[in-house]
Structure 1
Amino acid sequence: MYVQYCYIMSIFSIDAMVKGKKKSNEPSGKKITLKMAKNALKVTIDGKRRLDLSNMEIATFPKCILKLCDVDELDLSRNQLKKIPDTIDQFVKLRWLDLHSNHIEQIPASMGRLHNLYSLNLCNNHLTTPGLPHELGLLRNLRILNLGMNRIETLAPSMAALKELRELGLFNNFLTHLPKFLQNLPKLQKVNIKSNPIPTDDLEVDHIQRVECLYLVREECLCADCLKMCKKERERLESRISAASKQKKSIFAGLLTPNSVAQDNQAVWR
Structure 2
Amino acid sequence: MGNSGLKQHIETAQKTGVLKVSQGKLNEFPPGFKQLESSLRTLDISDNKFVTLPNEISRFMQLRHLNLSKNRLSKIPDCIGALTKLETLNASYNNLSTLPRTISNLINLKQVNLTDNHIKDFPLMFCGLKHLDVLDLTKNEITSIPPEVSGLNVTELNLNQNQVAHISGQIADCPRLKTLRLEENCLQLSAIPPRILADSRISNFSIDGNLFESKQLASIAGYDSYMERYTAVKKKMF
Same fold (TM over 0.5): yes
- Structure 2 letter corresponding to 1:116: K
- Contact 2:147–2:168 (CA<8 Å) still a contact in 1? no
Aligned partner of 2:75 in structure 1 is 106
Aligned partner of 1:244 in structure 2 is none
The TM-score, its normalising length taken from structure 1, stands at 0.59
- Contact 1:174–1:196 (CA<8 Å) still a contact in 2? yes
CA RMSD of aligned residues (A): 2.5
Aligned partner of 1:62 in structure 2 is 30
Aligned partner of 1:37 in structure 2 is 9
Distance in 2, Cα, partners of 1:151 & 1:62? 28
Structure 2 CA distance for partners of 1:201 and 1:161, relative to 1, 3 Å: closer
- Contact 2:146–2:167 (CA<8 Å) still a contact in 1? no
Structure 2 CA distance for partners of 1:66 and 1:54, relative to 1, 3 Å: same
Give the alignment partner of residue 97 of structure 2, picking from 113, 128, 131: 128
For the residue of structure 1 that corresponds to 2:19, the secondary structure is strand
Distance in 1, Cα, partners of 2:168 & 2:12? 45
Aligned partner of 1:87 in structure 2 is 56
Aligned partner of 1:245 in structure 2 is none
Aligned partner of 1:182 in structure 2 is 149
Give the alignment partner of residue 197 of structure 1, picking from 163, 181, 184: 163
How far apart are residue 156 of structure 1 and its match? 4.3
Higher helix share: 1
Q: How many matched pairs?
A: 176
Whether 1:49 and 2:21 are equivalent positions in the alignment is: no
Distance in 2, Cα, partners of 1:205 & 1:139? 22
Structure 2 CA distance for partners of 1:172 and 1:208, relative to 1, 3 Å: same
- Deviates most, 193-202 or 137-146: 193-202
Structure 2 CA distance for partners of 1:110 and 1:126, relative to 1, 3 Å: same
Distance in 2, Cα, partners of 1:201 & 1:35? 50
For the residue of structure 1 that corresponds to 2:127, the secondary structure is helix
Structure 2 residues not aligned, in runs of 5+: 183-238
Structure 2 CA distance for partners of 1:208 and 1:180, relative to 1, 3 Å: farther
The TM-score, its normalising length taken from structure 2, stands at 0.66
- Contact 1:128–1:152 (CA<8 Å) still a contact in 2? yes
Distance in 2, Cα, partners of 1:184 & 1:91? 29
Higher relative contact order (CA closer than 8 Å, sequence separation 6+): 2
- Contact 1:190–1:209 (CA<8 Å) still a contact in 2? yes
Structure 2 CA distance for partners of 1:159 and 1:35, relative to 1, 3 Å: same
For the residue of structure 1 that corresponds to 2:145, the secondary structure is coil
- Deviates most, 31-40 or 76-85: 31-40
Structure 1 residues not aligned, in runs of 5+: 1-29, 213-270
User: Identity of counterpart residues, as a percentage?
Assistant: 28
1:87-138 alpha-carbon deviations (Å, 9 max, x no partner)? 1111110000000010011101110010000100000001012xx1110111
